[in-house]
């Protein structure tokens, strides 16, 4: 949302100018602004808080790129292509470590100053406002620490302002169980300070529902990790605790509901697609969006816009690069309206009459409405968007994978899979390819519902009628029939229904990669020794990539846990490398 991004720029650059100390944990110079001209009012504390939001925005920027490490999306923005190993993503996100600790240091600095402010304030109303700021910062620090332990396991954990480089060089890795406990405590405290709902002027900030949702998510992930380690009793405890948090979010007092009540719309105009078109995000915040990072658009500062056109668009739609594209495996997951089940796998080839062929338009008829809202295939049309993003049309272009003359056809230079995204690609005049206004959703209500279903299904050893109702509400927005309960009555089969909805509902939103890791299913998807081969819709021989071909055990291990930045270890011998990266 523009309102929160504008606030980012007002004061935070001078307050939080970050000096570079090689690859050391990013630190905040504590004397950037004189004490006598800042930290005097609630507004000062609020502006400082926006600096933490800005850091978290950087940290979660391009969150969609993580799905390039899954089997459902090809992404050139995060991993190499060719003889492809998704575990390589662990070596290309080292900046993520630095960005995470930048948020943590900003959070610790502002919290320290906030606690000093409490001692100087006597107005109960202003104290309440300061407490809200504290709750938001505790929330942001918590979700960053959560991502760090998810990717790296044990990580340095601290909640104070570091005393220069000397202390930074002595930090050691804290067991992730202890970090998890601290995160949950912080979120519990934040919940007591945060408002239940947000007004339109506060969209992009944190609510109590978001804190409950992420506290539940952390507990759910911990349950999965304990299950993978064979610790059934602890896993059961956390599945139950997670379900309680998700259940809280579903209470009427939080006002959460699906966008447009979950109505599907029409096949040519699915309402699902409106959530991601850059024009309806406010309606999303008012209904199903629990938390998102904010993007402003042109005119509000370099680096404050979304990059969806740059990565999802084509040369014909705003000078995009097709840096992320769907795979045929993803398209195969869109179910038939007639049966609610999967169609036969699509057959590659350029023929437009081949039965169930990738270029045959009949192949895509009668499928989940979310397919057309998300993906384009040969024969699909889209309005031209000028290179500067400020003019739409007047001509309508057709996508043909092997055509790129940019006159009649969409020029999809950079597309290798034969599919491109419709989701996130603007079709209205606005601005440049890296200055959009669409916010990046980190948690929506369907995510809460499906995580709740997963938790209850686990500890209940199977689904309840309530769980079927929740999944069916999500399926309804795709115009799909309800689940056949007799086919999904066991814990194992109902989990497959949950997985199916998570794949389709959260296409290119950065969830699939993390789901694969917490479910411990990487080896079952990319089976040794051959792994998987990805080809384009046309099945041509000039592009394919082998995934996990001839992989060894260490390759799979590196998918589950990332490399501690070597530069950090060089400067701090107390940081020990994860074993599979030695």
SS3 per residue for 245-290 = HHHHHCCHHHCCCCHHHHCCECCCCEHHHHHHCCCCHHHHHHHCEE
Taking the mean position of all CA atoms in its chain, how far away is CA 47? 26
Give the largest CA-CA distance in the chain.
76
Residues 499/332, Cβ–Cβ less than 8 Å: no
Asked whether the predicted pLDDT for residue 25 surpasses 70, the reply is no
Residues 471/484, Cβ–Cβ less than 8 Å: no
**How far is Cα 330 from Cα 424, in angstroms, rounded to an integer?**
17
- Look at 93 and 582; give whichever has higher pLDDT: 582
Sign of CA dihedral 439, 440, 446, 452: negative
pLDDT tens, position by position, 468-523: 999 999 999 999 999 999 999 999 999 999 999 999 999 999 999 999 999 999 99
Per-residue pLDDT, averaged over 454-470, amounts to 98
Residues 439/293, Cβ–Cβ less than 8 Å: yes
Asked whether the predicted pLDDT for residue 13 surpasses 80, the reply is no
Per-residue pLDDT, averaged over 211-235, amounts to 98
Q: pTM of the full predicted structure?
A: 0.94
**How far is Cα 411 from Cα 427, in angstroms, rounded to an integer?**
16
Confidence of residue 410 (pLDDT cuts 50, 70, 90): very high
**Helix 445-459 vs helix 465-476: angle between axes, to the nearest 10 degrees?**
150
- Look at 408 and 29; give whichever has higher pLDDT: 408
Confidence of residue 83 (pLDDT cuts 50, 70, 90): low
- Nearest Cα to Cα of residue 297 among 441, 437, 440: 437
What is the per-residue pLDDT for 172? Answer: 96
Residues 214/186, Cβ–Cβ less than 8 Å: no
- Nearest Cα to Cα of residue 225 among 157, 284, 267, 179: 179
Asked whether the predicted pLDDT for residue 344 surpasses 70, the reply is yes
**How far is Cα 65 from Cα 98, in angstroms, rounded to an integer?**
18
Structure tokens of 219? 């507990």
Q: How many CB atoms lie within 10 A of CB 487?
A: 13
**How far is Cα 311 from Cα 306, in angstroms, rounded to an integer?**
10
3-state secondary structure at position 164:
helix
What is the per-residue pLDDT for 408? Answer: 87
**Helix 94-118 vs helix 124-152: angle between axes, to the nearest 10 degrees?**
160
- Nearest Cα to Cα of residue 549 among 534, 535, 529: 529
Structure tokens of 64? 């969609």
What is the per-residue pLDDT for 27? Answer: 39
- Nearest Cα to Cα of residue 165 among 22, 15, 59, 17: 22
**How far is Cα 243 from Cα 456, in angstroms, rounded to an integer?**
6
Residues 500/365, Cβ–Cβ less than 8 Å: no
3-state secondary structure at position 174:
strand
pLDDT tens, position by position, 94-109: 789 999 999 999 999 9
pLDDT tens, position by position, 544-572: 889 999 999 999 999 999 999 999 999 99
Phi, psi of 336 (to 5 degrees): -85, 140
Q: Could you give the percent of the chain with pLDDT greater than 70?
A: 91
Contacts of 378 (CB under 8 A, 6+ apart): 352, 358, 359, 361, 399, 400, 401, 418, 537
Structure tokens of 505? 């509902």
């Amino acid at each position: 949302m523009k309102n929160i991004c504008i606030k980012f720029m007002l004061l935070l650059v001078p307050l939080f100018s970050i000096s570079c100390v090689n690859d050391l944990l990013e630190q905040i110079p504590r004397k950037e602004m004189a004490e006598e001209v800042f930290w005097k009012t609630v507004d000062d504390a609020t502006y400082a808080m926006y600096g933490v939001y800005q850091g978290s925005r950087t940290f979660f920027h391009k969150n969609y790129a993580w799905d390039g490490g899954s089997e459902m999306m090809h992404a050139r923005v995060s991993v190499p292509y060719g003889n492809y190993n998704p575990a390589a993503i662990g070596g290309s996100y080292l900046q993520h470590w630095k960005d995470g600790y930048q948020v943590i240091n900003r959070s610790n600095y502002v919290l320290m100053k906030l606690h000093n402010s409490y001692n100087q304030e006597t107005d109960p109303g202003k104290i309440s406002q300061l407490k809200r700021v504290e709750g938001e910062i505790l929330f942001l620090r918590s979700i960053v620490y959560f991502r760090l332990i998810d990717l790296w396991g044990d990580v340095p954990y601290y909640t104070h302002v570091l005393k220069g480089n000397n202390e930074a060089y002595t930090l050691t890795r804290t067991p992730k169980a202890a970090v998890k406990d601290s995160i949950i405590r912080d979120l519990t405290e934040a919940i007591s300070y945060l408002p239940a709902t947000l007004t339109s002027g506060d969209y992009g900030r944190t609510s109590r529902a978001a804190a409950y949702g992420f506290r539940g998510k952390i507990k759910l992930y911990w349950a999965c990790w304990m299950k993978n380690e064979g610790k059934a009793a602890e896993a059961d405890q956390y599945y139950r605790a997670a379900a309680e948090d998700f259940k809280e979010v579903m209470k009427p007092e939080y006002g959460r509901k699906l966008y447009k009540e979950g109505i599907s719309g029409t096949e040519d105009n699915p309402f699902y697609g409106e959530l991601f078109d850059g024009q309806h995000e406010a309606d999303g915040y008012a209904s199903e969006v629990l938390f998102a990072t904010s993007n402003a658009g042109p005119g509000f500062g370099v680096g404050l816009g979304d990059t969806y056109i740059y990565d999802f668009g084509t040369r014909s739609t705003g000078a995009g690069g097709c840096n992320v594209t769907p795979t045929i495996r993803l398209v195969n997951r869109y179910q038939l309206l007639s049966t609610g089940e999967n169609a036969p796998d699509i057959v590659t080839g350029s023929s437009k009459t081949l039965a169930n062929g990738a270029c045959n338009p009949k192949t895509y008829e009668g499928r989940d409405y979310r397919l057309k809202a998300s993906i384009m295939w040969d024969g699909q049309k889209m309005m031209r968007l000028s290179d500067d993003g400020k003019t739409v049309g007047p001509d309508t272009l057709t996508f043909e994978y092997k055509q790129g003359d940019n006159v009649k056809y969409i020029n999809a230079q950079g597309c290798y899979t034969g599919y491109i995204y419709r989701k996130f690609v603007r079709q209205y005049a606005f601005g440049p390819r890296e200055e959009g206004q669409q916010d990046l959703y980190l948690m929506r209500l369907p995510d809460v519902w499906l995580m709740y279903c997963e938790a209850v299904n686990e500890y209940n050893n199977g689904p309840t009628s309530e769980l079927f109702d929740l999944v069916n509400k999500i399926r309804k927005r795709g115009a799909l029939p309800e689940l056949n309960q007799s086919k999904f009555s066991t814990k194992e089969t109902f989990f497959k229904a949950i997985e199916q909805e998570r794949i389709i509902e959260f296409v290119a939103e950065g969830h699939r990669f993390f789901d694969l890791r917490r479910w411990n299913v990487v080896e079952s998807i990319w089976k040794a020794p051959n792994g998987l081969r990805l080809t384009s819709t046309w099945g041509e021989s000039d592009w394919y990539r082998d995934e996990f071909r001839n992989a060894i055990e260490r390759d799979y291990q590196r998918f589950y846990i990332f490399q501690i930045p070597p530069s950090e270890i060089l400067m701090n011998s107390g940081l020990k490398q994860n074993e599979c990266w030695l």
